[in-house]
Chain A
Amino acid sequence: AEGEALHDEL
């Protein structure tokens, strides 16, 4: 979503 970071770690 806009303004949100992509968290690719668990």
Chain B
Amino acid sequence: MNIFRLAGDVSHLVAIIILLLKIWRSKSCAGISGKSQVLFALVFSTRYLDLFTVFVSVYNVVMKVVFLALSYATVYLIYMRFRNSYDSENDTFRVEFLLVPVIGLSFLENYAFTPLEILWTFSIFLEAVAIMPQLFMITKTGEAESITTHYLFFLGLYRALYIANWVWRYHMEGFFDQIAVVSGVVQTIFYCDFFYLYVTRVLRGKGKMSLP
């Protein structure tokens, strides 16, 4: 554990809590892609199956359980409790275009051809692209509420901090997880355009982010 990894995990947690609280307090999930949230729940579900097979640390177990619980709670709020506010007409990203290549790649490129390893690899690749339905939705509607952009900012920050964590671990421990690093870098690149808009429009304009 190093400071970048810890800060990354905290950013990830903050992002998820921001989204959950936003939906809970406003009793609305308008502008939120339910598809992205289902994909994230799938990411956690397939990655954390090792909760049943290996013990890493108390921190590891607690965080995994929290991420799983919060992601399912978010999906529940969107599709059950506040489904009347769900903007399904603008949440039209074709998820199968992500799932098919990701499933294919996870069978081709993995550390071991075992069910758990393939599912772990699947979760890593899927996480890299799971935000695309949300970004697609923002592009389609041309705007995002500021709280939604704060959520995306912390999610992107988490990815950037994980890269710093990998640089640190490579130098300090000789640790290098090629699958995680490559897809983590790809994932972070998706946020760069958003980061630019966030700084130039949301922070300076202090309001909704609208696209030109």
Contact = CB atoms under 8 A, between A and B. Distances in A.
Interface of A: 1, 3-10
Interface string B91-120: 000000000000000000001101011001
Interface in B133-163: 162
Contacts of A9: 5, 162, 165, 177, 180
A4 B117 contact: yes
Task: Give chain B's interface residue range (CB within 8 Å of chain A).
Answer: 20 to 34
Interface of B: 5, 9, 12, 47, 50, 53-54, 56-57, 60, 63-64, 67, 111-112, 114, 116-117, 120, 162, 165, 177, 180
Contact of A6 (B12, B54, B180): B54
A5 B177 CA distance: 10
B116 A4 contact: yes
Contact of B114 (A4, A8, A10): A4
A10 B93 CA distance: 26
Contacts of B116: 1, 4
Given A10-B9, A10-B12, A10-B60, A5 B117 contact: yes
B50 A7 contact: yes
B53 A8 contact: no
Contact of A8 (B12, B60, B111, B162): B60
A9 B116 CA distance: 15
A6 B47 CA distance: 12
Contacts of B117: 3-5
Contacts of A5: 111-112, 117, 120, 177
A3 B112 contact: yes
A7 to B, nearest CB: 6
Contacts of B111: 4-5
A6 B111 CA distance: 10
21 contacts: A1-B54, A1-B114, A1-B116, A3-B114, A3-B117, A4-B111, A4-B112, A4-B114, A5-B112, A6-B56, A7-B47, A7-B50, A7-B177, A8-B56, A9-B5, A9-B162, A9-B165, A9-B177, A9-B180, A10-B63, A10-B64
